[in-house]
Amino acid sequence: MYILKRIPSILLFLVMYSLFLLVAGNKIIHYILLDLLLVIVYIKGCRKNFYKKAALFSFVVLFVIQTLVILQLPSIIRYEWDYNEKMLVYIYEQSNLLIITLSFFIEIIFEIKEEQYNFIKILQCKTYIDFRKLKNIAHNKKDLICKASKVLTKDNVRELILDMRRHNSFSYINDGTLSEKYFELAQKSIFTDPFVYIILSDTGSVASQLIGVGTQKPYNHASFSFDRNLETLISYNGGEKINPPGLNTEMLEYLMKKKDATIYIYKLPVTREAKQKMLEKIKEINKNGSSYNLVGLMTRKSYKPNIMFCSQFVYSLLKYAGVEYFEKKASSIKPTDLVELDYHRKLLFDHEIKFK
């Protein structure tokens, strides 16, 4: 049941990943990966062997159809529209978007069938049903769909696709973006401030909104600072179309895109040695290169040491200096984990900033 509860967030990340894969490269390989991921997710959560076999067969048939469309559609369009290249590109891309939704549609059908099967098993095993719980589950599902429909608008999807072309989850594309002035300010804070600062925010970006639908958490971005005034604020982000995605400085303006945004600043007491160690690690990443771990949002893996997402970076930095205050795999850390998993109350609330 655990995997079934996580299906909405998994599907969300798969949508993001599939859009990323659509922008370039061999689409047949992309469909293999997508269909394989979906059928694995379903089979892992499925209890009935018949549904497992039916799902596997359906995805094999679907892949054959997708392959035929990819191979035959361009020649058909050229023949019918007299080599109109603009029309060819438009219809080809729209067709790809359509058939990729078929993968998700089939997975959802089998998911519903599985839930019906589980519901019948519950009726057979229990003498009573908590209808309030069922009502809450239905309400949560409806709320999730409403939130997703508001986020997955045509403009947002277009913006997401364009932004994904800037990302690379397998190679370093960002280096040297932190200036000497930044390192001077950070070095100064080692002797003037006995804390490091962890900042939680909701940037209001399309990616942040999509992550929010999957995590069901209000704050989906984490940043790090050596000083209370946030003059040394950094994180792994998209670079605001100025720098490549990866390790970059952050401005408060970047964190206040959302109307009525609130930023929460927490502080962690550390030694000078720990702050110095963290600063040296940041220098190393800035020199060797970095990249935003977009694929890792779904796979929970990093393919190179300096390819991370925001909360993964903050936790890894704390762990490197030996000042982490809970144990969890870095690539599985959500921004809110940095506060919610502080069972020993090592983290101190400092202040909040509200934007109107």
183-238 confidence digits (pLDDT tens): 999 999 999 999 999 999 876 665 666 665 555 666 788 999 999 999 999 999 88
pLDDT of 316 over the 80 cut? yes
- Give the pLDDT of residue 257: 65
Residues 60-103 pLDDT 10s: 777 777 677 666 655 555 555 455 555 555 555 556 656 666 66
Domain ranges of the chain: 2-129, 180-354
Contact between 262 and 354 (Cβ < 8 Å)? yes
pLDDT of 276 over the 60 cut? yes
Task: Name 269's bridge partners.
Answer: 195
Overall CATH class of domain 180-354? alpha beta
CA–CA dist 33, 57 (Å, integer):
16
What is the DSSP secondary-structure string of 8-35? HHHHHHHHHHHHHHHTSS-HHHHHHHHH
CA–CA dist 335, 342 (Å, integer):
12
Tokens of 335: 């921004």
List Cβ<8 Å contacts ≥24 apart for 57-64: 58/106, 58/110, 59/35, 59/103, 59/106, 62/35, 62/102, 62/103, 62/106, 63/31, 63/32, 63/35
The amino acid at 344: H
**In degrees rounded to 5, what are phi and psi of residue 78?**
-60, -40
First-residue to last-residue Cα distance in the chain:
42
CA–CA dist 218, 262 (Å, integer):
10
- Give the pLDDT of residue 172: 93
Residues 114-173 pLDDT 10s: 665 565 555 555 545 555 665 665 566 556 556 555 655 666 666 666 667 777 888 899
**HEC profile of 62-73:** HHHHHHHHHHHH
- Give the pLDDT of residue 28: 60
